[in-house]
């Protein structure tokens, strides 16, 4: 922003603070003000002549008028509308008030202070100098920007402005300079309100006209004439951002000091320890700490994101106002995510002096609606009573195909925005690949049940909203060999190191490789391992080879496929993006609890498989297998990747070749699960409270057959184990009867616990996702010759009418319920923006 000659701070260090009334009159400044606008009428000062002095002759009036004109000076700021400025400070006995001064100092159009008041604080022999010096000391020790006198005047001397809370008034009023604005005052203020037990008398104060300057503040050009950006005091974001210079994140350095010393906070900025805020869920870390990076769904509090710059280009030059508002909103939401956050609630916490508060409250609506549409706030399982977005964001109606995590997320978001939504689901149930079983006495997910990284994860948000506690999975995982021996931890760590070293070499190899130079991951791992053993002269023992096979089975679990199908170049493509950090947890109540809450109040038609989508006309026509038809402005397709690959939905016109190529460049991964309920917990003495234990395969051909066993209620009463079948083992059990699979699993358990009796299970289940007509898969992976870009192409809409969501459309977080949920939120945002 342009600045006057006395201000030498840069844009990011600029300040805006308090503003004061231009006169000495008491009250709340309700009278019509003309000091900030160019008007046609000016009140001249008149002085009664002293006794004995004759009145001036009428013939001298013209000469006096010319001289009086010289006693007024315009604001020299180019473009300022104030022809006859008024000093808001009234600090010096010689204050110019609304008269002549050698220089007017401009803070905004309508807010100026005179040279006499400047001197009052700036000159060391003046009475106000100590006040300025004390403020300057605090500002310098806490902040980063220049402690100029303009910054002082904005931060300490401008009057506060507050809006009448009566619904039929809502006029802005200027408080007198001795009144400090607080959130409770902003929440209760009424026109004419008096303070210090002074009774309010007279007519209806709301009938008094609003200050003319307020109308100017709402004009688009007003912001460009602002010398200093607003810096909030007592912002809800303060506890989150204690490690930052306040003025770099939209807060005043003169605000409430942190409990920690600045030396503690900033001497060691290399640390990335999130602040401990009482009552806040530890998984809520919406802001990066200084020098921290690589954390999903986290924002830099001192910098605008690209999508924010696109939406709010007017803040690109000086983002301080936007950052102050956005940080306040994010902090407020994470402090209370169980209620809808409104601009009215947020406005109460905008504590800043001057007319700029009026502008901040005005901008709050836009920023809050943007963040709501993007799913940053007012999201999850939140129930709303009225639409969250203005009517211009409504789509008349939307059809969503599939009631899995992505479809339900999009439906919930769109309905909360104000859109009419119908969800068509082929199955008799909702959830898709989320399907929880409670027949064994505890909840066991036939599909997903683990949350990988809880910090900022929307699953953790929904659990907080519902009061659901997750079980933290500890890292300990003893590796049992068939025969009952527990593998030495030193061997486990050594082979884990070698395994990761092999993958590191693969990562180096792929750096200069194109898609047509890709190779299967299995072949690349074999090659790297062979070269390593030849060059190092190391020979793995038989047990070490088996432990390596265990780690490879975990890799196949992660990919959902045998490694001969997986791209060596792009198998972990999402790791190039920030991932969710923190605890890995087990959803003991299952994902279904969240999805059923998401589905409340939605129009969901089950047993309604879709066979055709016609989008050549003005509206989209959807036809189900039984011939029923629906029309909508937009359609969101959330079916699993396999169904798209097998053309189970006919698109007319056909999907673009680019999208079809992407669909077939991804693989449909598959894993199966088995769960066993026993009469008692026979494993307790060996496992000692661990959440899971590993099974070392006796040979490579047994790899993936029950490689990990999860205790579904550790330290509890129920005796339930769940295991996974991955890689080539999936094909081995595909045509087995459930009892045969159980018998194979029991053989393994009896080998692992050979020295004790292992009872027969009393109940069990085995999954068959490969045979599930409406899934036929578990989660996606990148096939050899493909790339992560395919996920982005799958996510592209077609003609602004047909949209796509699901884990296979989320390049950053594929293969997870979190990724599916976020893809639904993403598409809802896109549809609301168009």
Q: Is 573 annotated as a binding residue?
A: yes
621 contact partners, CB below 8 Å, separation of at least 6: 613, 614, 615, 629, 630, 631
Q: Is 833 annotated as a binding residue?
A: no
Q: In this structure, are residues 416 and 384 in contact, taking their beta carbons and an 8 Å threshold? A: yes
How far apart (Å, rounded) are the C-alpha atoms in residues 333 and 759? Answer: 51
Q: In this structure, are residues 402 and 637 in contact, taking their beta carbons and an 8 Å threshold? A: yes
- Tell me the torsion sign for CA atoms 563, 564, 566, 571: positive
149 alpha carbon, distance to own chain's centre? 37
Alpha helices in 437-590 (DSSP H): 458-466, 489-509, 521-536, 542-559
- Residue 604: which H helix or E strand, with range? strand 603-605
675 contact partners, CB below 8 Å, separation of at least 6: 437, 440, 444, 712, 720, 721, 722, 723, 764, 765
| Burial class, 678, CB count within 10 angstroms (exposed 0-12 / middle 13-18 / buried 19+) | buried
Q: DSSP letters along 555-598, please?
A: HHHHHTS-TTSBBTTTTTGGGGS-B--S-EEE-TT-HHHHHHHH
Q: Please report, for residues 334, 347, 364, 411, the alpha-carbon distance to residue 369 in angstroms, rounded to integers and kept in the order given.
A: 16, 14, 8, 18
- Residue 631: which H helix or E strand, with range? strand 629-632
Phi-psi group of 242: left, alpha or beta (phi > 0 → left; psi -120 to 50 → alpha; rest → beta): alpha
Residue 9, phi then psi, degrees to nearest 5: -75, 155
How far apart (Å, rounded) are the C-alpha atoms in residues 702 and 696? Answer: 9
Q: Is 403 annotated as a binding residue?
A: no
Q: Which one, of 403, 401, 448, 447, lies nearest residue 428 by Cα? A: 403
Q: Is 610 annotated as a binding residue?
A: yes
227 contact partners, CB below 8 Å, separation of at least 6: 1, 2, 3, 4, 7, 14, 77, 106, 107, 108, 150, 154
CA count, 13 A, side-chain hemisphere, 592: 18
Q: Please report, for residues 133, 192, 214, 284, 452, the alpha-carbon distance to residue 202 in angstroms, rounded to integers and kept in the order given.
A: 42, 9, 24, 51, 65
How far apart (Å, rounded) are the C-alpha atoms in residues 76 and 5? Answer: 11
Q: Please report, for residues 236, 335, 635, the alpha-carbon distance to residue 277 in angstroms, rounded to integers and kept in the order given.
A: 11, 9, 42
* Bridge partners of residue 763, in order along the sequence: 677
372 contact partners, CB below 8 Å, separation of at least 6: 378, 379, 388, 389, 417
How far apart (Å, rounded) are the C-alpha atoms in residues 276 and 5? Answer: 42
- Please give the structure tokens belonging to residue 452: 């990988």
248 contact partners, CB below 8 Å, separation of at least 6: 12, 13, 144, 302
How far apart (Å, rounded) are the C-alpha atoms in residues 180 and 390? Answer: 33
Q: Sheet harboring 650-652: ordered strands across? A: 629-632, 620-624, 610-614, 650-652
Q: Which residue ranges make up the annotated binding site for FAD?
A: 406, 425-426, 610
Q: Which residue ranges make up the annotated binding site?
A: 406, 425-426, 573, 610
Q: Which residue ranges make up the annotated binding site for substrate?
A: 573
């Amino acid at each position: 922003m342009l600045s006057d000659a006395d201000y030498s701070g840069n844009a990011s260090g600029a300040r805006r603070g308090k503003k004061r009334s231009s006169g000495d009159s008491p009250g709340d400044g309700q009278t019509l003000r003309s000091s900030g606008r160019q008007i046609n009428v000016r009140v001249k000062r008149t002085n009664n002549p002293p006794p004995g002095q004759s009145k001036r002759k009428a013939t001298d009036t013209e000469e006096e008028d010319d001289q009086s004109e010289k006693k007024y000076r315009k604001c020299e700021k180019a473009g300022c509308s104030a022809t006859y400025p008024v000093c808001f400070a009234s600090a010096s006995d010689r204050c110019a008030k609304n008269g002549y001064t050698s220089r007017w100092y401009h803070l905004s159009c309508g807010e100026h202070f005179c040279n006499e008041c400047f001197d009052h604080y700036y000159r060391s022999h003046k009475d106000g100098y100590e006040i300025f010096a004390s403020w300057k000391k605090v500002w310098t020790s806490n902040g980063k920007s220049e402690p100029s006198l303009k910054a002082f005047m904005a931060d300490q001397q401008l009057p506060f402005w507050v809006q009448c809370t009566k619904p039929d008034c809502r006029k802005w009023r200027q408080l007198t300079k001795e009144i400090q604005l607080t959130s409770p005052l902003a929440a209760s203020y009424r026109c004419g309100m008096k303070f210090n037990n002074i009774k309010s008398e007279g007519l209806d104060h709301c009938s008094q006209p609003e200050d003319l300057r307020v109308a100017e503040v709402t004009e688009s050009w007003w912001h460009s004439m602002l010398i200093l950006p607003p810096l909030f005091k007592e912002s809800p974001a303060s506890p989150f951002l204690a490690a930052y210079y306040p003025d770099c994140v939209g807060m005043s350095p003169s605000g409430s000091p942190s409990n920690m010393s600045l030396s503690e906070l900033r001497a060691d900025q290399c640390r990335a320890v999130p602040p401990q805020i009482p009552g806040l869920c530890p998984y809520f870390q919406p802001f990066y700490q200084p020098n921290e990076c690589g954390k999903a769904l986290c924002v830099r509090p001192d910098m605008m994101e690209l999508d924010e710059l696109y939406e709010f280009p007017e803040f690109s030059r000086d983002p301080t106002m936007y950052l102050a508002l956005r940080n306040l909103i994010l902090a407020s939401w994470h402090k209370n995510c169980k209620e809808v956050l409104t601009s009215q609630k947020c406005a109460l916490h905008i504590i800043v002096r001057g007319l700029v508060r009026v502008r901040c409250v005005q901008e709050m609506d836009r920023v809050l609606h943007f963040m709501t549409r993007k799913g940053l706030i007012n999201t999850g399982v939140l129930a709303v009573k009225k639409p969250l977005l203005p009517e211009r964001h409504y789509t008349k109606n939307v059809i969503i195909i599939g009631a899995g995590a992505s479809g339900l997320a999009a439906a919930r978001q769109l309905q909360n925005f104000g859109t009419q939504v119908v969800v068509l689901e082929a199955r008799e149930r909702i959830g898709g690949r989320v399907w929880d079983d409670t027949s064994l006495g505890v909840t066991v997910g036939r599909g997903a049940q683990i949350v990988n990284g809880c910090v900022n994860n929307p699953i953790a948000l929904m659990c907080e909203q519902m009061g659901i506690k997750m079980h933290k999975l500890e890292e300990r995982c003893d590796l049992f060999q068939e025969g009952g021996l527990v593998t030495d931890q030193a061997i486990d760590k050594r082979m884990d190191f070698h395994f990761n070293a092999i993958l590191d070499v693969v990562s180096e190899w792929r750096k200069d490789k194109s898609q047509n130079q890709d190779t299967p991951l299995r072949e690349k791992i074999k090659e790297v391992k062979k070269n390593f053993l030849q060059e190092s002269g190391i020979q793995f023992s038989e047990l070490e080879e088996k432990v390596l096979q265990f780690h490879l089975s975990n890799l196949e679990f992660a990919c959902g496929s045998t490694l001969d199908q997986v791209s060596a170049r792009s198998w972990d493509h999402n790791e190039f993006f920030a991932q969710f950090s923190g605890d890995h947890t087990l959803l003991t109540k299952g994902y279904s609890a969240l999805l059923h809450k998401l589905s409340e109040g939605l129009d969901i038609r089950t047993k309604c498989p879709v066979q055709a989508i016609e989008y050549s006309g003005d509206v989209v026509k959807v036809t189900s297998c039984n011939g029923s038809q629906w029309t909508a402005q937009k359609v969101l397709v959330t079916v699993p990747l396999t169904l798209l690959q097998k053309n189970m939905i006919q698109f007319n016109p056909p999907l673009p070749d680019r999208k079809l190529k992407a669909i077939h460049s991804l693989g449909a991964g598959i894993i199966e699960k088995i769960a066993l309920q026993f009469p008692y917990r026979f494993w307790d003495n060996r496992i000692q409270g661990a959440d899971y234990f590993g099974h070392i395969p006796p040979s490579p051909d047994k790899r993936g057959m029950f490689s990990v066993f999860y205790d579904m209620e550790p330290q509890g009463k129920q005796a339930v184990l769940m295991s996974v079948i991955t890689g080539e083992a999936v094909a081995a059990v595909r045509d087995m009867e459930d009892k045969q699979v159980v018998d194979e699993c029991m053989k393994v358990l009896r080998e692992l616990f050979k020295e004790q009796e292992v009872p027969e299970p009393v109940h069990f289940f085995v999954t068959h996702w490969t045979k599930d007509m409406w899934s036929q898969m578990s989660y996606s992976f990148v096939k050899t010759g493909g790339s992560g870009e395919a996920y982005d192409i799958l996510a592209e809409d077609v003609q602004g009418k047909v949209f796509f969501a699901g884990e296979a459309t989320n390049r950053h977080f594929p293969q997870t319920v979190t990724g599916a949920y976020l893809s639904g939120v993403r598409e809802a945002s896109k549809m609301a923006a168009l």
